[in-house]
Amino acid sequence: MRFVTSSSLGKITQHLPIIEVELILDPSLRDVVERILPLGTYYTAISAFIEYRSRLDYGLVNHALCAAIRDMLKV
Q: pTM here?
A: 0.63
Predicted local confidence at residue 75, as pLDDT: 55
Which residues span the domain enclosing 17? 4-73
E-only strand ranges, 1-75: 4-8, 17-21
Average pLDDT in the 14-19 region?
A: 62
Mean pLDDT of 31-52: 87
Number of domains in the chain: 1
3-state SS assignment for residue 19:
strand
| Out of 5-9, 16-20, 26-30, 56-60, least confident range | 5-9
